[in-house]
A and B are shown apart, each in its own frame.
Chain A
Amino acid sequence: MRRRLALTATVAATCLLATACGGITNTGDTATGPAGSVTTDGCTDPAAATKPITGAVKIGWTVPLSGPFQGVWTLINDGFGARMKAFNAAGGANGVTADFFTTDSKLDPEVSKAMGNEMVQKDGADIISTTGTAQVATMIDDAAAACVPFLAATSSSPIYHDTTKYPWATLYLPQTDLETKAVVKAIERQFPNGATVAVGKSPSETGSIYTDAFKKSAQGTNVKVVAEASVADPNAAATTLKASGADVLFGATSAQECLALTTAIGRVGWKPTIYYDTTCADTKLYAPAGAAADNAQVFKYEVLPALPQFAGTPAVKDYLAAAKTSGLKDPMSNWSVTGWSIGEVYADVLTRAAKSPEGLTRLSIMKAAQDQDFHPSTFISGIDYHAATGGVTGMQPFRWDAAAQQFALAGDPVIIN
């Protein structure tokens, strides 16, 4: 009896909800304009978006400052901060300086969301950003609702490159398929008669995004994916991948996993041509693997200040000098260069927004960010940052030289966009 009552109550409540909500499905209006147009329609406070920014433009960043990824992000954060210091020392944007501050996202979506809103509402941030797909996902709509530009966020997910859906955001990392296309092209270059590829896949988001993009890029080419294995267990993966007898190993892996995979395939005595995705472009991930990592290839777009090919260039000399005056602790680290390059993107946006007819406002910043097409000084020459086509325009192949314990250039940059 009581059970039937409960059931009736549930059904009744559901019906009530359905009628109260005016139907079961969403009518969901599409509050987005044509591609590339930013407006203040739908902002909670349109006036704030068009109000001229005077004194200082507040840039709020929320990245992991604690937990396992703190090390990398502290370096990137330092690089970004140093570039903003240099920007201010050079007079800022028409006298408006950058007030850059960072909060700890703990790489947790709920914390990041709270931080994003706090930075906008409490600290009055004019621009915010974060890292990691889950964090970007939770913050991007809030930023758009407040009409606060969400600039150069780092996520490898292709979803957020869509400017019709996300007119208030730009991303820093290149679209993954751009990189996988470059990898496929490089493989074709090396194996003109076609090649078989085994994919070692990270169990994380990076792994599936890169694997899917690689398969798509390989479609219709002579490059065939013949095996796939999760590197959660690198030794088991190495055995399985080796058994496929593929010519090439593509590591859709991130950070430490690259090192583990290289070591594991070295140990099962397999010597394929190795390609890694760009999250593995760090000397610390190759040196410990010894000879097994020799000739492993990876694509990058930022300069490596330590390489002789770059060390002498005016751009790198300028970078090192400016980094020194800004007090950057470890300018030779790849991660510092990444942070500095993100700072380059911000500095360019602010400078151009300040020159626009409206002057420096949140709206003009977002417009400038959408039109952004320039060469960051810490990018490899020939590669630009072009927001409309998804950020970075090309990729430079590098190979690991195990004897020299350093990367070396491996051919010309592959320009896609």
Chain B
Amino acid sequence: MTTTAPAPAVEPATLPRGRRRLLVVAGSPRHTVLITASWLVVALLVVLATGLADYQLGRVTNAVIIATAIVGLNVVTGYTGLLSVGHSALLGVGAYTTGVLVVKLNLQPMITIPVAVVAGVLVGAFVGLPTIRIRGLYLAMVTLALAVAFPEILQAATGLTGGAAGLVVSVRYLFPPEWTGLTRAQRPIWMFLLSLTALAVCMLIVWWMQRSRLGRDMRAVRDHEAAAESFGVNVARTKVVAFALSGGITALAGSMLAMYVGALSPAGSFTILKAIELLSGLILGGVATQLGPLVGAAVVVYLPVLLAGVVNGQGAGVLFGLLLIVIVFVMPEGIVGRLNAGWRARVEFVPRGHPYAPTPRRERA
């Protein structure tokens, strides 16, 4: 086992001189404790959140939904390196699928979720097709076209989408289902738990994806497309699959958004400005990180709220813009990217059997 691990040669940076670091070996009791503790913290946060006042819980729900959308964006822009300014449309595809099915066909909102995801996958794949030929910033043109065309198409299809006036999903369709045992007044908690579940599922899928062969192919495409191709990665398929997966996840977020907001309009949440908000969230949180979308969503949802307490009106916009720049200056790799780097400098995580691992007894507690 140990013979195949030429650790010092591969990772010279993991041998810091004169710096005390915590060594964690996979599967060791310390590792288990750390993992359990982090899950406990997450569970505690969720329980605490359900105790919030409804209006605060609503904001948290909003942030969770935006985080889900950013998780979707992360697949394409983060892991595969394809810049997209069109995710507002994919969000809208999910939202309008749910909205139209509930309003026009009188379907249960929960039933519309898989349909919304499928719609997102299809539209995502369709948008991904041109990426086979179009690369780099030119690809941004394809996604820009999507972002600009989507609100126009919504307005043109008035019969289906309610046109410019939008679509109202009456609140009476959106109460918690009976099997949950929640009362109607507990709709905010239901919405929170539902969107949190959606987020968790998406994060799990992405976690699994980035460890799978698909994830490796995506990173290869991102880092060097031509090299990836020469090593036998099916670049075209990888890109299309990335867009399809991303579309499905973002559409799921859209479906949640439709249920949370209860009203949809082309000028509201589905213009290019929304796509820019998602992109800002992703980059601020940390591109190609697991937790980046969460932190990024918190920033884009809560920063304006906090700023409104400091300065109102146009000044808030100026401050928001400048703060974005400051955050990027301090942490160009994003907040989570930076934290990860800081964390790695203090904690060393090694697989079992790693050359550092065999000496657990001599470690300082």
Query: Does B230 count as interface, using CB distance less than 8 angstroms?
Result: no
Query: Does A21 count as interface, using CB distance less than 8 angstroms?
Result: yes
B268 in contact with A70 (CB, 8 Å): no
A26 in contact with B155 (CB, 8 Å): no
Q: Closest B-chain residue to A121, C-beta based?
A: B55
A72–chain B nearest beta-carbon distance, Å: 13
**A121 CA to B57 CA in the complex, in Å?**
11
Query: Does B158 count as interface, using CB distance less than 8 angstroms?
Result: yes
Partner of A28, one of B62, B105, B106: B106
A21 in contact with B111 (CB, 8 Å): yes
CB contact list, A2-37 vs B, under 8 A: 10, 13-14, 17-18, 20-26, 28-31
Query: Does A118 count as interface, using CB distance less than 8 angstroms?
Result: yes
- Return chain B residues, CB-CB under 8 Å to A199: none
Interface SS of A by simple majority: helix
- Return chain A residues, CB-CB under 8 Å to B171: 141-142, 144-145
Annotate B153-170 by CB proximity to A: 1 below 8 A, 0 otherwise.
001001000011110101
Number of residue pairs A-B, CB distance < 8 angstroms: 135
B294–chain A nearest beta-carbon distance, Å: 18
- Return chain B residues, CB-CB under 8 Å to A70: 313-314
* A23-B108, A67-B317, A114-B58 given; A28·B177 CB < 8 A: no
CB contact list, A181-211 vs B, under 8 A: 203-209
Partner of A205, one of B165, B308, B313: B165
* Number of residues of chain B lying within 8 A (CB) of chain A: 48
Annotate A83-117 by CB proximity to B: 1 below 8 A, 0 otherwise.
00000000000000000000110101111011001
Annotate B260-287 by CB proximity to A: 1 below 8 A, 0 otherwise.
0111010111000000000000000000
A114 in contact with B108 (CB, 8 Å): no
Query: Does A415 count as interface, using CB distance less than 8 angstroms?
Result: no
- Return chain A residues, CB-CB under 8 Å to B170: 28, 141
- Return chain B residues, CB-CB under 8 Å to A133: 165-166, 265
Query: Does B349 count as interface, using CB distance less than 8 angstroms?
Result: no
Annotate B171-184 by CB proximity to A: 1 below 8 A, 0 otherwise.
11100011100001
Query: Does A65 count as interface, using CB distance less than 8 angstroms?
Result: yes
- Return chain A residues, CB-CB under 8 Å to B304: 106, 111
A26 in contact with B106 (CB, 8 Å): yes
* A103-B308, A109-B263 given; A137·B168 CB < 8 A: yes
- Return chain B residues, CB-CB under 8 Å to A111: 304
Query: Does B3 count as interface, using CB distance less than 8 angstroms?
Result: no
**A280 CA to B251 CA in the complex, in Å?**
38
- Return chain A residues, CB-CB under 8 Å to B4: none
- Return chain B residues, CB-CB under 8 Å to A138: 261-263, 268
A6–chain B nearest beta-carbon distance, Å: 11
**A20 CA to B316 CA in the complex, in Å?**
46
Query: Does A120 count as interface, using CB distance less than 8 angstroms?
Result: yes
B55 in contact with A118 (CB, 8 Å): yes
* Number of residues of chain A lying within 8 A (CB) of chain B: 53
- Return chain B residues, CB-CB under 8 Å to A118: 55
- Return chain A residues, CB-CB under 8 Å to B165: 133, 157, 159, 205, 208-209
Query: Does A66 count as interface, using CB distance less than 8 angstroms?
Result: yes
A137 in contact with B265 (CB, 8 Å): yes
- Return chain A residues, CB-CB under 8 Å to B59: 114
**A106 CA to B304 CA in the complex, in Å?**
10
Query: Does B365 count as interface, using CB distance less than 8 angstroms?
Result: no
- Return chain B residues, CB-CB under 8 Å to A26: 102, 106-108, 173
**A309 CA to B44 CA in the complex, in Å?**
68
Query: Does A44 count as interface, using CB distance less than 8 angstroms?
Result: yes
CB contact list, B184-204 vs A, under 8 A: 184-185
B314–chain A nearest beta-carbon distance, Å: 5
Query: Does B93 count as interface, using CB distance less than 8 angstroms?
Result: no
- Return chain B residues, CB-CB under 8 Å to A67: 314, 317
**A51 CA to B69 CA in the complex, in Å?**
42
**A66 CA to B172 CA in the complex, in Å?**
33
Interface SS of B by simple majority: helix
- Return chain B residues, CB-CB under 8 Å to A134: 166, 263, 265, 267-268
Partner of B308, one of A28, A104, A159: A104
Query: Does B53 count as interface, using CB distance less than 8 angstroms?
Result: yes
* A23-B108, A110-B62, A110-B269 given; A66·B261 CB < 8 A: no
**A106 CA to B268 CA in the complex, in Å?**
11
- Return chain B residues, CB-CB under 8 Å to A117: 54-55, 58
Partner of B111, one of A14, A29, A209: A14
**A236 CA to B59 CA in the complex, in Å?**
43
B317 in contact with A66 (CB, 8 Å): yes
B324–chain A nearest beta-carbon distance, Å: 15
A66–chain B nearest beta-carbon distance, Å: 5
Query: Does B355 count as interface, using CB distance less than 8 angstroms?
Result: no
**A14 CA to B116 CA in the complex, in Å?**
12
- Return chain A residues, CB-CB under 8 Å to B261: 109-110, 113, 138
Query: Does B241 count as interface, using CB distance less than 8 angstroms?
Result: no
A296–chain B nearest beta-carbon distance, Å: 24
B47–chain A nearest beta-carbon distance, Å: 20
A22 in contact with B177 (CB, 8 Å): yes
Q: Closest A-chain residue to B111, C-beta based?
A: A24
A257–chain B nearest beta-carbon distance, Å: 14
B58 in contact with A207 (CB, 8 Å): no
* A103-B308, A110-B62, A208-B155 given; A24·B107 CB < 8 A: yes
CB contact list, B298-355 vs A, under 8 A: 304-305, 308, 312-314, 316-317
* A120-B55, A138-B262 given; A25·B107 CB < 8 A: yes
Q: Closest A-chain residue to B177, C-beta based?
A: A21
Annotate B52-82 by CB proximity to A: 1 below 8 A, 0 otherwise.
0111001100100000000000000000000
- Return chain B residues, CB-CB under 8 Å to A204: 164, 267
- Return chain A residues, CB-CB under 8 Å to B305: 114
- Return chain B residues, CB-CB under 8 Å to A144: 171
Q: Closest B-chain residue to A32, C-beta based?
A: B172
**A10 CA to B115 CA in the complex, in Å?**
11
Known: A17-B111, A26-B102, A133-B165. 12 other contacts (CB 8 A): A28-B170, A67-B314, A70-B313, A70-B314, A103-B308, A104-B313, A104-B316, A109-B269, A110-B268, A117-B54, A159-B168, A205-B165
Instruction: Pull 24 A–B residue pairs with CB atoms less than 8 Å apart, ordered by A.
Output: A17-B110, A17-B114, A20-B110, A20-B179, A21-B108, A21-B177, A21-B179, A24-B107, A26-B173, A28-B172, A65-B312, A65-B313, A66-B314, A67-B314, A109-B265, A109-B269, A110-B62, A110-B261, A110-B268, A113-B58, A133-B166, A141-B170, A205-B165, A207-B164
Report, nearest first, the 8 A-B pairs whose CB atoms are least far apart.
A137-B263, A205-B164, A117-B55, A134-B265, A141-B171, A134-B268, A109-B268, A121-B55
User: Which residues does B use to contact A, with CB under 8 Å?
Assistant: 53-55, 58-59, 62, 102, 105-108, 110-111, 113-114, 152, 155, 158, 163-166, 168, 170-173, 177-179, 184-185, 257, 261-263, 265, 267-269, 304-305, 308, 312-314, 316-317
